[in-house]
Structure 1
Amino acid sequence: MTQVRTKTDLARSYLDDGVICVPGLLDPESLDLAEEAFGWSLDNPSPAAQRLFPDAGTVFYQDLFNTLSWPHYMPLVQRAGLGPLMARLWQSREVWFFFEQVFHKVGAGRRTPWHQDTSYFPVEGEHLSVVWISLDRVSKEQALEFVRGSHKGTIFNGAAFTGDDDTAPLYDEGAMPRLPDIEASRAAYDIVSWATEPGDGIIFHPSVLHGGGQTDAGEERRTVSLRFFGDDCRFVSRPSVSKQSAVGFNRNETGSRNVEEFYEGLSPGDLFRHPDFIALEAA
Protein backbone atom coordinates (compact mmCIF):
# COMPACT_ATOMS: atom_id res chain seq x y z
CA MET A 1 0.00 0.00 0.00
CA THR A 2 1.32 3.47 -0.90
CA GLN A 3 1.90 5.63 2.15
CA VAL A 4 0.34 9.07 1.76
CA ARG A 5 2.41 11.86 3.23
CA THR A 6 0.38 14.50 5.05
CA LYS A 7 1.06 18.23 4.88
CA THR A 8 2.51 17.98 8.39
CA ASP A 9 4.87 15.21 7.26
CA LEU A 10 6.02 17.30 4.30
CA ALA A 11 6.68 20.34 6.49
CA ARG A 12 8.62 18.27 9.01
CA SER A 13 10.70 16.62 6.29
CA TYR A 14 11.41 19.97 4.68
CA LEU A 15 12.53 21.44 8.00
CA ASP A 16 14.74 18.45 8.85
CA ASP A 17 16.10 17.45 5.44
CA GLY A 18 15.94 20.72 3.55
CA VAL A 19 14.45 18.96 0.51
CA ILE A 20 11.25 17.10 -0.37
CA CYS A 21 9.73 15.59 -3.50
CA VAL A 22 6.05 16.33 -4.19
CA PRO A 23 4.67 13.99 -6.89
CA GLY A 24 1.93 15.57 -8.97
CA LEU A 25 2.60 19.09 -7.72
CA LEU A 26 1.30 20.46 -11.02
CA ASP A 27 -1.98 19.38 -12.55
CA PRO A 28 -2.15 19.18 -16.37
CA GLU A 29 -3.24 22.81 -16.72
CA SER A 30 -0.45 24.02 -14.44
CA LEU A 31 2.05 21.96 -16.42
CA ASP A 32 0.84 23.65 -19.62
CA LEU A 33 1.35 27.04 -17.96
CA ALA A 34 4.88 26.02 -16.95
CA GLU A 35 5.70 25.05 -20.53
CA GLU A 36 4.30 28.33 -21.83
CA ALA A 37 6.34 30.37 -19.33
CA PHE A 38 9.50 28.39 -20.08
CA GLY A 39 9.00 29.00 -23.80
CA TRP A 40 8.59 32.72 -23.17
CA SER A 41 11.86 32.79 -21.21
CA LEU A 42 13.76 31.05 -24.03
CA ASP A 43 12.30 33.43 -26.60
CA ASN A 44 12.98 36.53 -24.49
CA PRO A 45 16.39 36.15 -22.82
CA SER A 46 17.54 38.68 -20.25
CA PRO A 47 21.05 40.18 -20.10
CA ALA A 48 21.84 37.44 -17.55
CA ALA A 49 21.21 34.61 -20.03
CA GLN A 50 24.31 32.52 -20.62
CA ARG A 51 25.59 29.20 -21.86
CA LEU A 52 27.51 27.34 -19.18
CA PHE A 53 30.52 25.16 -20.05
CA PRO A 54 30.45 26.22 -23.73
CA ASP A 55 33.58 24.19 -24.51
CA ALA A 56 31.73 20.94 -23.72
CA GLY A 57 30.04 21.00 -27.13
CA THR A 58 26.50 20.62 -25.77
CA VAL A 59 23.82 23.08 -24.72
CA PHE A 60 23.76 24.01 -21.02
CA TYR A 61 21.76 27.24 -20.96
CA GLN A 62 20.42 29.25 -18.06
CA ASP A 63 18.62 32.53 -17.49
CA LEU A 64 17.39 34.10 -14.26
CA PHE A 65 15.88 37.15 -12.61
CA ASN A 66 14.24 38.43 -15.78
CA THR A 67 11.69 40.77 -14.23
CA LEU A 68 9.90 41.02 -17.59
CA SER A 69 9.07 37.31 -17.30
CA TRP A 70 7.35 37.49 -13.92
CA PRO A 71 3.82 38.17 -15.26
CA HIS A 72 4.21 35.02 -17.39
CA TYR A 73 4.98 32.88 -14.33
CA MET A 74 2.25 34.23 -12.07
CA PRO A 75 -0.58 32.15 -13.64
CA LEU A 76 1.47 29.02 -12.91
CA VAL A 77 2.31 30.09 -9.35
CA GLN A 78 -1.33 30.88 -8.59
CA ARG A 79 -2.86 27.85 -10.32
CA ALA A 80 -0.46 25.47 -8.52
CA GLY A 81 -1.12 27.09 -5.13
CA LEU A 82 2.57 27.62 -4.48
CA GLY A 83 2.00 30.57 -2.14
CA PRO A 84 -0.13 28.61 0.35
CA LEU A 85 2.22 25.62 0.02
CA MET A 86 5.24 27.74 0.98
CA ALA A 87 3.33 29.27 3.89
CA ARG A 88 2.50 25.79 5.23
CA LEU A 89 6.04 24.51 4.85
CA TRP A 90 7.54 27.52 6.62
CA GLN A 91 4.71 28.51 8.96
CA SER A 92 5.10 31.99 7.50
CA ARG A 93 2.35 34.60 7.41
CA GLU A 94 3.64 36.22 4.21
CA VAL A 95 5.04 34.77 1.00
CA TRP A 96 6.73 36.63 -1.85
CA PHE A 97 7.87 35.49 -5.27
CA PHE A 98 11.64 36.01 -5.43
CA PHE A 99 12.62 35.17 -9.00
CA GLU A 100 12.56 32.56 -11.75
CA GLN A 101 15.41 30.58 -13.26
CA VAL A 102 15.31 28.36 -16.33
CA PHE A 103 17.71 25.68 -17.50
CA HIS A 104 17.89 24.06 -20.94
CA LYS A 105 20.19 21.11 -21.57
CA VAL A 106 20.48 19.34 -24.92
CA GLY A 107 22.71 16.38 -25.71
CA ALA A 108 25.24 14.46 -23.65
CA GLY A 109 26.00 17.03 -20.98
CA ARG A 110 28.19 16.99 -17.90
CA ARG A 111 27.03 17.05 -14.28
CA THR A 112 26.08 20.31 -12.65
CA PRO A 113 28.75 21.02 -10.00
CA TRP A 114 27.81 20.71 -6.34
CA HIS A 115 26.91 24.10 -4.89
CA GLN A 116 24.50 26.07 -2.68
CA ASP A 117 22.27 28.73 -4.21
CA THR A 118 22.56 31.07 -1.22
CA SER A 119 26.25 31.55 -2.04
CA TYR A 120 25.18 33.57 -5.07
CA PHE A 121 22.67 36.04 -3.64
CA PRO A 122 22.59 38.08 -0.44
CA VAL A 123 19.82 36.47 1.59
CA GLU A 124 19.56 33.98 4.43
CA GLY A 125 16.84 32.64 6.72
CA GLU A 126 14.44 29.77 7.29
CA HIS A 127 11.78 31.00 4.88
CA LEU A 128 13.48 30.43 1.55
CA SER A 129 12.56 27.78 -1.02
CA VAL A 130 13.29 26.67 -4.55
CA VAL A 131 10.55 24.82 -6.44
CA TRP A 132 12.32 22.72 -9.09
CA ILE A 133 10.08 21.53 -11.93
CA SER A 134 11.40 19.44 -14.80
CA LEU A 135 9.19 19.54 -17.88
CA ASP A 136 10.69 16.23 -19.02
CA ARG A 137 10.96 12.78 -17.43
CA VAL A 138 14.11 12.43 -15.31
CA SER A 139 15.55 9.12 -14.12
CA LYS A 140 17.00 8.74 -10.64
CA GLU A 141 20.45 8.23 -12.17
CA GLN A 142 20.23 11.60 -13.92
CA ALA A 143 18.33 13.52 -11.26
CA LEU A 144 19.42 16.50 -9.26
CA GLU A 145 21.03 15.23 -6.03
CA PHE A 146 21.03 16.75 -2.54
CA VAL A 147 23.06 16.37 0.64
CA ARG A 148 20.28 15.87 3.14
CA GLY A 149 20.32 18.33 6.05
CA SER A 150 23.20 20.40 4.67
CA HIS A 151 21.09 23.60 4.81
CA LYS A 152 21.81 23.63 8.54
CA GLY A 153 25.58 23.67 8.07
CA THR A 154 28.30 25.80 6.51
CA ILE A 155 27.64 28.16 3.62
CA PHE A 156 30.52 27.54 1.24
CA ASN A 157 32.12 29.64 -1.47
CA GLY A 158 30.12 29.47 -4.68
CA ALA A 159 31.23 27.20 -7.51
CA ALA A 160 32.64 29.27 -10.37
CA PHE A 161 31.24 26.86 -13.01
CA THR A 162 34.41 27.14 -15.08
CA GLY A 163 37.10 24.65 -16.06
CA ASP A 164 37.52 21.10 -14.83
CA ASP A 165 37.68 21.82 -11.08
CA ASP A 166 34.12 21.81 -9.78
CA THR A 167 35.26 23.24 -6.43
CA ALA A 168 36.96 26.26 -8.04
CA PRO A 169 35.67 29.20 -5.97
CA LEU A 170 33.55 32.06 -7.23
CA TYR A 171 34.94 34.51 -4.68
CA ASP A 172 38.54 35.09 -3.64
CA GLU A 173 40.19 32.34 -1.61
CA GLY A 174 39.44 32.84 2.08
CA ALA A 175 36.32 34.93 1.51
CA MET A 176 34.19 31.87 2.32
CA PRO A 177 35.09 28.22 3.01
CA ARG A 178 35.87 26.33 -0.20
CA LEU A 179 33.38 23.73 -1.39
CA PRO A 180 34.27 20.15 -0.44
CA ASP A 181 34.85 17.67 -3.26
CA ILE A 182 31.60 15.78 -2.65
CA GLU A 183 31.82 13.77 -5.87
CA ALA A 184 35.19 12.38 -4.86
CA SER A 185 33.88 11.12 -1.49
CA ARG A 186 30.18 10.47 -2.04
CA ALA A 187 30.00 7.76 0.64
CA ALA A 188 30.78 10.38 3.29
CA TYR A 189 27.55 12.29 2.53
CA ASP A 190 23.84 11.53 2.91
CA ILE A 191 22.90 12.02 -0.76
CA VAL A 192 19.27 11.75 -1.88
CA SER A 193 17.53 12.09 -5.25
CA TRP A 194 14.25 11.21 -6.95
CA ALA A 195 13.13 10.15 -10.38
CA THR A 196 10.45 12.57 -11.55
CA GLU A 197 7.70 12.78 -14.12
CA PRO A 198 6.50 16.03 -15.71
CA GLY A 199 4.33 17.73 -13.10
CA ASP A 200 6.30 16.48 -10.11
CA GLY A 201 8.10 19.07 -8.01
CA ILE A 202 11.19 19.06 -5.84
CA ILE A 203 11.24 21.73 -3.16
CA PHE A 204 14.48 22.57 -1.39
CA HIS A 205 16.09 25.21 0.77
CA PRO A 206 18.67 27.07 -1.35
CA SER A 207 21.36 26.39 1.28
CA VAL A 208 21.16 22.63 0.64
CA LEU A 209 24.21 21.34 -1.22
CA HIS A 210 23.01 20.03 -4.56
CA GLY A 211 24.33 19.07 -7.98
CA GLY A 212 24.06 16.51 -10.77
CA GLY A 213 21.49 16.25 -13.50
CA GLN A 214 23.67 14.97 -16.36
CA THR A 215 22.04 14.28 -19.73
CA ASP A 216 22.64 11.66 -22.43
CA ALA A 217 23.00 12.01 -26.19
CA GLY A 218 19.72 12.80 -27.89
CA GLU A 219 18.09 14.02 -24.68
CA GLU A 220 16.56 17.37 -23.84
CA ARG A 221 16.09 18.65 -20.29
CA ARG A 222 13.85 21.68 -19.66
CA THR A 223 13.66 22.96 -16.10
CA VAL A 224 11.71 25.75 -14.44
CA SER A 225 13.06 26.80 -11.04
CA LEU A 226 10.90 29.18 -8.99
CA ARG A 227 12.17 30.87 -5.82
CA PHE A 228 10.17 32.23 -2.90
CA PHE A 229 10.83 33.93 0.44
CA GLY A 230 8.80 34.65 3.57
CA ASP A 231 8.83 36.37 6.94
CA ASP A 232 12.20 35.00 8.07
CA CYS A 233 14.42 36.20 5.27
CA ARG A 234 17.19 38.73 5.87
CA PHE A 235 19.77 40.58 3.85
CA VAL A 236 23.37 39.38 4.19
CA SER A 237 26.46 40.73 2.47
CA ARG A 238 28.40 38.53 0.05
CA PRO A 239 31.94 39.09 -1.25
CA SER A 240 32.33 40.90 -4.54
CA VAL A 241 33.37 38.87 -7.57
CA SER A 242 36.79 39.97 -8.78
CA LYS A 243 37.50 37.16 -11.23
CA GLN A 244 36.09 35.77 -14.45
CA SER A 245 33.12 33.51 -13.74
CA ALA A 246 30.44 31.77 -15.72
CA VAL A 247 27.71 32.60 -13.22
CA GLY A 248 26.13 35.65 -11.67
CA PHE A 249 23.58 38.36 -12.28
CA ASN A 250 24.80 40.16 -15.38
CA ARG A 251 23.03 43.49 -15.77
CA ASN A 252 24.68 45.69 -18.36
CA GLU A 253 21.87 46.23 -20.84
CA THR A 254 18.40 47.69 -20.82
CA GLY A 255 15.27 45.62 -20.36
CA SER A 256 14.94 43.48 -17.25
CA ARG A 257 15.48 45.42 -14.05
CA ASN A 258 18.82 45.35 -12.31
CA VAL A 259 18.79 42.89 -9.43
CA GLU A 260 20.79 45.27 -7.26
CA GLU A 261 17.81 47.67 -7.25
CA PHE A 262 15.99 45.22 -4.99
CA TYR A 263 18.81 45.28 -2.43
CA GLU A 264 19.45 49.04 -2.27
CA GLY A 265 19.37 50.57 1.20
CA LEU A 266 19.54 47.24 3.04
CA SER A 267 22.15 46.50 5.70
CA PRO A 268 23.17 43.02 6.89
CA GLY A 269 20.48 41.67 9.20
CA ASP A 270 17.67 43.80 7.75
CA LEU A 271 14.47 42.03 6.77
CA PHE A 272 14.63 41.29 3.05
CA ARG A 273 11.84 43.32 1.52
CA HIS A 274 11.08 45.41 -1.55
CA PRO A 275 7.64 46.68 -2.57
CA ASP A 276 8.09 45.47 -6.13
CA PHE A 277 8.44 41.81 -5.18
CA ILE A 278 5.13 40.07 -5.86
CA ALA A 279 3.20 39.20 -2.68
CA LEU A 280 1.28 35.92 -2.93
CA GLU A 281 -1.85 34.61 -1.30
CA ALA A 282 -0.63 32.59 1.67
CA ALA A 283 -3.85 30.87 2.70
Structure 2
Amino acid sequence: MTTALITGATAGIGAAFARRLAADGHNLVLVARDTERLREQAVELHDRHGIEAEVLTADLADEAGIAAVEKRLADRTHPVDLLVNNAGFGNKGRFLDVPMADELRMLTVHCEAVLRLTAAAAGPMRERGRGGVVNVASVAAFLPRGTYGASKAWVVQFTQGAAKDLAGSGVRLMALCPGFVRTEFHQRAGMGTAGVPDWAWLDADKVVAAALSDLARGRTLSVPDPRYKAVMGLVKVAPRALLGGVSTRAGRKYGPR
Protein backbone atom coordinates (compact mmCIF):
# COMPACT_ATOMS: atom_id res chain seq x y z
CA MET A 1 0.00 0.00 0.00
CA THR A 2 1.37 3.41 -0.98
CA THR A 3 1.68 6.41 1.35
CA ALA A 4 0.85 10.06 0.69
CA LEU A 5 2.04 12.98 2.82
CA ILE A 6 -0.18 16.07 2.76
CA THR A 7 0.69 19.44 4.30
CA GLY A 8 -2.12 21.73 5.37
CA ALA A 9 -4.20 18.57 5.63
CA THR A 10 -6.94 19.59 8.06
CA ALA A 11 -9.02 21.88 5.84
CA GLY A 12 -9.87 22.88 2.31
CA ILE A 13 -7.91 21.38 -0.57
CA GLY A 14 -5.60 19.49 1.80
CA ALA A 15 -8.52 17.78 3.52
CA ALA A 16 -10.03 16.98 0.12
CA PHE A 17 -6.77 15.32 -0.94
CA ALA A 18 -6.80 13.31 2.30
CA ARG A 19 -10.39 12.13 1.74
CA ARG A 20 -9.80 11.15 -1.87
CA LEU A 21 -6.47 9.40 -1.30
CA ALA A 22 -7.80 7.51 1.73
CA ALA A 23 -10.82 6.41 -0.29
CA ASP A 24 -8.42 5.17 -2.99
CA GLY A 25 -6.61 3.04 -0.39
CA HIS A 26 -3.51 5.11 0.32
CA ASN A 27 -2.01 5.36 3.79
CA LEU A 28 -1.54 8.96 4.88
CA VAL A 29 0.82 11.23 6.76
CA LEU A 30 -1.23 14.27 7.76
CA VAL A 31 0.70 17.47 8.46
CA ALA A 32 -0.68 20.67 10.02
CA ARG A 33 -0.32 22.86 13.11
CA ASP A 34 -3.46 21.73 14.99
CA THR A 35 -2.68 18.40 16.67
CA GLU A 36 -6.17 17.74 17.97
CA ARG A 37 -7.77 18.41 14.61
CA LEU A 38 -5.20 16.16 12.92
CA ARG A 39 -5.95 13.32 15.31
CA GLU A 40 -9.70 13.60 14.76
CA GLN A 41 -9.15 13.56 11.00
CA ALA A 42 -6.81 10.56 11.22
CA VAL A 43 -9.29 8.54 13.28
CA GLU A 44 -12.16 9.37 10.94
CA LEU A 45 -10.23 8.39 7.80
CA HIS A 46 -8.92 5.20 9.41
CA ASP A 47 -12.38 4.15 10.56
CA ARG A 48 -14.04 4.98 7.26
CA HIS A 49 -11.49 3.58 4.83
CA GLY A 50 -9.34 1.15 6.83
CA ILE A 51 -6.10 2.96 6.01
CA GLU A 52 -3.30 4.00 8.36
CA ALA A 53 -3.17 7.74 9.04
CA GLU A 54 -0.08 9.12 10.74
CA VAL A 55 -0.18 12.53 12.43
CA LEU A 56 2.74 14.97 12.19
CA THR A 57 2.29 18.34 13.88
CA ALA A 58 4.44 20.99 12.18
CA ASP A 59 4.38 24.71 11.46
CA LEU A 60 6.00 25.20 8.06
CA ALA A 61 6.76 28.83 8.84
CA ASP A 62 9.21 27.51 11.43
CA GLU A 63 12.61 25.88 10.84
CA ALA A 64 11.85 23.04 13.24
CA GLY A 65 8.56 22.34 11.48
CA ILE A 66 10.13 22.13 8.02
CA ALA A 67 12.95 19.96 9.35
CA ALA A 68 10.50 17.54 10.98
CA VAL A 69 8.67 16.98 7.69
CA GLU A 70 11.95 16.69 5.78
CA LYS A 71 13.01 13.94 8.19
CA ARG A 72 9.77 12.01 7.62
CA LEU A 73 10.10 12.31 3.84
CA ALA A 74 13.68 11.05 3.98
CA ASP A 75 12.71 7.87 5.88
CA ARG A 76 13.61 5.03 3.49
CA THR A 77 12.02 2.37 5.72
CA HIS A 78 8.58 4.02 5.51
CA PRO A 79 8.69 5.70 2.10
CA VAL A 80 6.33 8.41 0.91
CA ASP A 81 5.07 7.82 -2.62
CA LEU A 82 3.13 11.06 -3.09
CA LEU A 83 3.81 14.48 -1.55
CA VAL A 84 1.14 17.17 -1.62
CA ASN A 85 2.59 20.56 -0.67
CA ASN A 86 -0.69 22.29 0.11
CA ALA A 87 0.04 24.43 3.20
CA GLY A 88 -0.44 28.12 2.53
CA PHE A 89 -2.21 31.31 3.53
CA GLY A 90 -3.02 34.82 2.39
CA ASN A 91 -2.33 38.24 3.87
CA LYS A 92 -5.00 40.94 3.73
CA GLY A 93 -3.81 44.30 2.48
CA ARG A 94 -1.59 45.98 -0.06
CA PHE A 95 2.18 45.95 -0.15
CA LEU A 96 3.59 48.05 2.74
CA ASP A 97 0.29 47.67 4.61
CA VAL A 98 1.16 44.08 5.52
CA PRO A 99 3.83 43.71 8.25
CA MET A 100 7.16 42.54 6.81
CA ALA A 101 7.25 39.65 9.28
CA ASP A 102 4.02 38.32 7.74
CA GLU A 103 5.38 38.73 4.20
CA LEU A 104 8.52 36.78 5.11
CA ARG A 105 6.46 34.10 6.84
CA MET A 106 4.47 33.67 3.62
CA LEU A 107 7.65 33.26 1.58
CA THR A 108 8.90 30.66 4.05
CA VAL A 109 5.72 28.58 3.77
CA HIS A 110 5.08 29.04 0.04
CA CYS A 111 8.66 28.93 -1.24
CA GLU A 112 11.27 27.65 1.22
CA ALA A 113 9.11 24.84 2.59
CA VAL A 114 8.00 23.80 -0.91
CA LEU A 115 11.60 23.76 -2.14
CA ARG A 116 12.96 21.79 0.80
CA LEU A 117 10.11 19.29 1.05
CA THR A 118 10.08 18.66 -2.68
CA ALA A 119 13.81 17.93 -2.55
CA ALA A 120 13.44 15.71 0.51
CA ALA A 121 10.72 13.68 -1.20
CA ALA A 122 12.09 13.58 -4.74
CA GLY A 123 15.50 12.17 -3.76
CA PRO A 124 14.20 8.88 -2.34
CA MET A 125 11.55 8.73 -5.08
CA ARG A 126 14.25 8.94 -7.76
CA GLU A 127 16.16 6.14 -6.06
CA ARG A 128 13.04 3.94 -6.23
CA GLY A 129 12.21 5.06 -9.75
CA ARG A 130 8.69 6.21 -8.92
CA GLY A 131 6.75 8.84 -7.02
CA GLY A 132 4.86 12.11 -7.38
CA VAL A 133 4.79 15.64 -5.99
CA VAL A 134 1.86 18.04 -6.25
CA ASN A 135 2.69 21.63 -5.32
CA VAL A 136 -0.48 23.66 -4.80
CA ALA A 137 -0.17 27.11 -6.35
CA SER A 138 -3.01 29.34 -7.63
CA VAL A 139 -4.28 31.12 -10.72
CA ALA A 140 -2.94 34.18 -8.86
CA ALA A 141 0.46 32.98 -10.08
CA PHE A 142 -0.43 34.41 -13.50
CA LEU A 143 -1.58 37.81 -12.23
CA PRO A 144 0.29 40.79 -10.74
CA ARG A 145 -0.90 40.09 -7.20
CA GLY A 146 1.77 41.16 -4.70
CA THR A 147 3.70 38.74 -2.53
CA TYR A 148 1.00 36.07 -2.69
CA GLY A 149 0.90 35.97 -6.49
CA ALA A 150 4.68 36.22 -6.72
CA SER A 151 5.19 33.32 -4.33
CA LYS A 152 2.72 31.18 -6.27
CA ALA A 153 4.41 32.14 -9.55
CA TRP A 154 7.64 30.85 -8.02
CA VAL A 155 5.91 27.56 -7.14
CA VAL A 156 4.78 27.12 -10.75
CA GLN A 157 8.17 27.94 -12.26
CA PHE A 158 10.08 25.85 -9.74
CA THR A 159 7.80 22.83 -10.17
CA GLN A 160 7.89 22.84 -13.94
CA GLY A 161 11.65 23.34 -13.96
CA ALA A 162 12.21 20.50 -11.50
CA ALA A 163 9.83 18.29 -13.51
CA LYS A 164 11.99 18.87 -16.59
CA ASP A 165 15.16 18.05 -14.66
CA LEU A 166 13.63 14.81 -13.35
CA ALA A 167 12.08 13.72 -16.65
CA GLY A 168 12.63 10.02 -17.22
CA SER A 169 13.37 9.30 -13.55
CA GLY A 170 9.87 8.02 -12.73
CA VAL A 171 9.22 11.05 -10.48
CA ARG A 172 6.31 13.24 -11.59
CA LEU A 173 5.97 16.85 -10.44
CA MET A 174 2.94 19.06 -11.03
CA ALA A 175 1.83 22.54 -10.01
CA LEU A 176 -1.88 22.78 -9.20
CA CYS A 177 -3.43 26.19 -9.90
CA PRO A 178 -7.03 26.44 -8.70
CA GLY A 179 -9.12 29.59 -8.70
CA PHE A 180 -11.58 30.42 -5.93
CA VAL A 181 -12.30 27.30 -3.87
CA ARG A 182 -14.85 27.04 -1.05
CA THR A 183 -12.49 26.53 1.90
CA GLU A 184 -11.44 28.31 5.10
CA PHE A 185 -8.72 30.19 3.20
CA HIS A 186 -10.41 33.58 2.88
CA GLN A 187 -11.94 33.50 6.34
CA ARG A 188 -8.56 32.82 7.94
CA ALA A 189 -7.01 35.72 6.02
CA GLY A 190 -9.84 38.07 6.95
CA MET A 191 -10.71 38.57 3.28
CA GLY A 192 -14.25 39.27 2.16
CA THR A 193 -15.71 37.28 -0.74
CA ALA A 194 -18.97 39.13 -1.32
CA GLY A 195 -17.84 40.36 -4.75
CA VAL A 196 -16.87 36.94 -6.10
CA PRO A 197 -19.44 35.74 -8.68
CA ASP A 198 -21.07 32.36 -8.14
CA TRP A 199 -19.54 30.93 -11.31
CA ALA A 200 -16.02 31.47 -9.96
CA TRP A 201 -16.32 29.12 -6.99
CA LEU A 202 -14.94 25.61 -7.25
CA ASP A 203 -15.56 22.54 -5.09
CA ALA A 204 -12.42 21.25 -3.33
CA ASP A 205 -13.21 17.59 -4.03
CA LYS A 206 -13.62 18.28 -7.75
CA VAL A 207 -10.36 20.26 -7.77
CA VAL A 208 -8.56 17.25 -6.27
CA ALA A 209 -10.14 14.83 -8.73
CA ALA A 210 -8.98 16.98 -11.65
CA ALA A 211 -5.50 17.33 -10.14
CA LEU A 212 -4.98 13.59 -9.67
CA SER A 213 -6.24 12.95 -13.19
CA ASP A 214 -3.77 15.49 -14.60
CA LEU A 215 -0.92 14.03 -12.51
CA ALA A 216 -1.68 10.56 -13.88
CA ARG A 217 -1.50 12.00 -17.41
CA GLY A 218 1.97 13.35 -16.71
CA ARG A 219 1.04 17.01 -16.84
CA THR A 220 3.26 19.51 -15.03
CA LEU A 221 0.56 22.17 -14.71
CA SER A 222 -3.06 21.64 -13.71
CA VAL A 223 -5.69 24.38 -13.98
CA PRO A 224 -8.89 22.66 -12.81
CA ASP A 225 -12.21 23.44 -14.44
CA PRO A 226 -12.89 24.69 -17.98
CA ARG A 227 -13.96 28.09 -16.62
CA TYR A 228 -10.51 28.83 -15.29
CA LYS A 229 -8.83 27.38 -18.35
CA ALA A 230 -10.79 29.99 -20.33
CA VAL A 231 -9.75 32.72 -17.89
CA MET A 232 -6.10 31.72 -18.29
CA GLY A 233 -6.50 31.93 -22.06
CA LEU A 234 -7.70 35.51 -21.70
CA VAL A 235 -4.86 36.33 -19.30
CA LYS A 236 -2.31 35.29 -21.93
CA VAL A 237 -3.59 37.87 -24.41
CA ALA A 238 -4.64 40.70 -22.07
CA PRO A 239 -2.29 43.71 -21.62
CA ARG A 240 -0.20 43.47 -18.45
CA ALA A 241 -1.22 46.98 -17.40
CA LEU A 242 -4.90 46.00 -17.51
CA LEU A 243 -4.25 42.83 -15.50
CA GLY A 244 -2.33 44.85 -12.93
CA GLY A 245 -5.20 47.27 -12.42
CA VAL A 246 -7.82 44.54 -12.06
CA SER A 247 -5.65 42.48 -9.74
CA THR A 248 -4.88 45.44 -7.48
CA ARG A 249 -8.55 46.36 -7.08
CA ALA A 250 -9.59 42.77 -6.49
CA GLY A 251 -6.74 42.14 -4.08
CA ARG A 252 -8.15 44.63 -1.58
CA LYS A 253 -11.09 42.33 -0.97
CA TYR A 254 -10.20 38.82 -1.97
CA GLY A 255 -7.71 36.62 -3.74
CA PRO A 256 -7.92 33.24 -5.53
CA ARG A 257 -7.28 29.98 -3.68
TM range (shorter): under 0.3
TM-score (norm 1): 0.25
Which of the two has greater helix per residue?
2
TM-score (norm 2): 0.27
